[in-house]
Structure 1
Amino acid sequence: MLDSVVFSSTIPNLTSDDMFSRMSAFNRWASRWCSENNVGFVDNWSQTIVIKTQQSVLARLGENAHLSCHLSWFSSSVLESKIIQVTWQKTLSDEQKNVATYNQIFGQTVNDDFKNKVQFKEAGLQNNSIVIRNVAEQDGGCYVCVFNMFPDGSLSNKTCLHVYELHEPVLQVRRSKSPEESLVSCSATGRPAPTVTLTVPQQHLHLSQHNTITVTNTNNTVTVTTTAVLSGLHDDSTRVGCAARVDSGP
């Protein structure tokens, strides 16, 4: 029979600043010691502090994207007194690049590289959000929200921005040899490749012989055209729906 040892860290004590800092330091030391000595460690601090972000944000090319994060604890008033700064960073291939910072003393600061692109929507030490204006393809990627707490270090979480492009679909209707049939097509261009759908609301109408053609354009957008035969026509009041969406869009 094998015995195992597990150490459970202290529960955060918020009765005073001195007690909080001492217990925070002890928790960090215990975590390192347990790791170095192959002892299981239950971190009660990580279980009581939660950084809430959107895991994924979708934004259409040219529109604005909103990124937000919220730091919650069971005693938010004491927690906020520990936070001195909130920083947004963009994850690049080899580094984290500062985008914008809200500091308790110095207020809002946007990095020079992002001044014409990013602004704060909500500047706070617990609730913080930014707006990325006129989203371009290069704005896509993951952003990290970092809460700096004195003297206890930092906590962070990330949210990833997915940028998509989608142009309005185009519907075309052509008469066939039969007076009760028409050839209808729905075409849309986007990135990634859009899903194109033809629909008819009237029950007596029917779409058949569907055919889809996909073309990749020189700018890396994709044009998808779906064609079908519409049968059951008796007058000119027929309505045909043509819709398009992309997997990373709404």
Structure 2
Amino acid sequence: MSFFGVLYYFLAVFIFGAFDKALTAVIQTQQTVLAAVGEDAEFSCQLLETKDVLQVTWQKISHDGEKNVATYNKQFGQRVNDGFTDKFKFKHTELQNCSIVIRNVMEQDEGCYHCLFNTYPEGSFTGKPCLQVYELHEPVVDVRESNSTEEWVVSCSATGRPAPTVTLSVSQQDLSFSQYNTVSVSNTNATFTVTTTAVLSGSRKHSTQVGCAARVLSAPHREVTVMTPVVQQKPDATEDGSYEKITSQSSESNFTWIIVLAVVSVVAVLLVILLVVFRYFFADFVAHFKQHNKTGDLEKIKTPLKSKQDIHENKTPLMNHENEQLRQRTSTKKTPKNINRKASPSTAKRLFEEH
């Protein structure tokens, strides 16, 4: 290539580059738009200079080039091209100011887009906003006891994409973290799990608030706070073992009281059961006795007393027969066998004369 050819090439690059910068300088747009997975992302472009705009065109930049996503003009209005109707929608439409929304952003939506203001006779003025998709889950905090009575071990894990930054905090100013340790693990779904562990110095007899914040890029952070549990420390044993003796005596005393209370409770329950059973059967017996007395009195009232004549008349024939035999025997003893009870007149006269 000749000297003039090289000079012409650099001159063309400089002129067209300057012209391209001039065209993009009048577009106001957000260079980087952050959106979490599942959220909506909004692109907005505004033409700062007054131009005769015929149409606004939105394009998605990919490895294969630019693809028209949607267009707006006064003659046909809003239009989203086929294949993008479920993903894109217009939010604000003007020829000088236009915005579009990407619904439910996913990892494949990440990249840069073009907003073109097609003017006459200058041509197109282009803006280039870019979408960056991130993922951030709520952090998980774990507080556990340390070997020392004056320390806690605090651990916080957060998962996101790209790798999140995990920060620990404590509410009390006189407490502080030390011995930081951070581990990052890459997951199969292109996310990262970052775990930060530190030692919190301070008395474990008092509860304090511990916080953990996770952040990805410049997106809003996620924070979780927990309260450390209070641990009651046992007193140290003396040299002669008095603490163990006191503890043993206290345990025996408590065990004795438990047995006494159990026995008293059982006796009380048995007494209550016996009382209930006695009252039930006693009430039944009294009711039966009263009913029996009432029945007997009524029978006496209903049955009149019998007279002696009725009793005599009501004797059975067997009794009458026995009485008759008894009278006959008595008469036989008083009267001799050779004397008839009825004497003839001649015999009676003779006996009378003899006497």
Q: TM-score, normalised by structure 1?
A: 0.77
Specify the alignment match of 1:224 in structure 2. Answer: 194
Specify the alignment match of 2:165 in structure 1. Answer: 195
| Distance apart, 1:179 and its partner CA | 2.5
Specify the alignment match of 2:131 in structure 1. Answer: 161
Q: Which has the higher contact order (CA 8 A, sep 6+)?
A: 1
> How far apart, in 2, do the equivalents of 1:200 and 1:249 lie?
23
Pick the structure with more helix per residue: 2
1:182 correspondence with 2:152: yes
> How far apart, in 2, do the equivalents of 1:71 and 1:202 lie?
52
Specify the alignment match of 1:12 in structure 2. Answer: none
> How far apart, in 1, do the equivalents of 2:85 and 2:24 lie?
35
| Distance apart, 1:49 and its partner CA | 6.7
Amino acid at match of 2:110: G
1:215 correspondence with 2:185: yes
**CA offset digits 1:51-84 (Å, max 9, x no partner):** 11111111111111110000012xx3xx2xx111
Residue 66 of structure 1: which of 34, 42, 45 is its match?
Answer: 42
Change (3 A) 1:108 1:42: closer
Specify the alignment match of 2:74 in structure 1. Answer: 104
Higher Cα Rg, which structure: 2
Amino acid at match of 2:61: T
In the alignment, is the contact (CA less than 8 A) between 1:49 and 1:71 conserved in 2? no
Amino acid at match of 2:34: L
Amino acid at match of 1:158: K
Specify the alignment match of 2:245 in structure 1. Answer: none
Aligned residues between the structures: 210
In the alignment, is the contact (CA less than 8 A) between 1:212 and 1:226 conserved in 2? yes
Change (3 A) 1:108 1:52: same
Amino acid at match of 1:177: N
> How far apart, in 1, do the equivalents of 2:198 and 2:33 lie?
35
* Aligned structure 1 segments of 4 or more residues deviating by more than 3 angstroms: 45-49
Aligned-residue Cα RMSD (Å) equals 2.6
Change (3 A) 1:144 1:181: same
| Distance apart, 1:150 and its partner CA | 2.5
> How far apart, in 2, do the equivalents of 1:42 and 1:173 lie?
59
**CA offset digits 1:19-72 (Å, max 9, x no partner):** xxxxxxxxxxxxx9xx56x99x987x9389711111111111111111000001
Unaligned runs of 5+ in 2: 1-7, 221-355
2:104 partner SS: coil
1:155 partner SS: strand
> How far apart, in 2, do the equivalents of 1:217 and 1:242 lie?
21
Change (3 A) 1:42 1:226: closer
Specify the alignment match of 1:28 in structure 2. Answer: none
Specify the alignment match of 2:33 in structure 1. Answer: 57
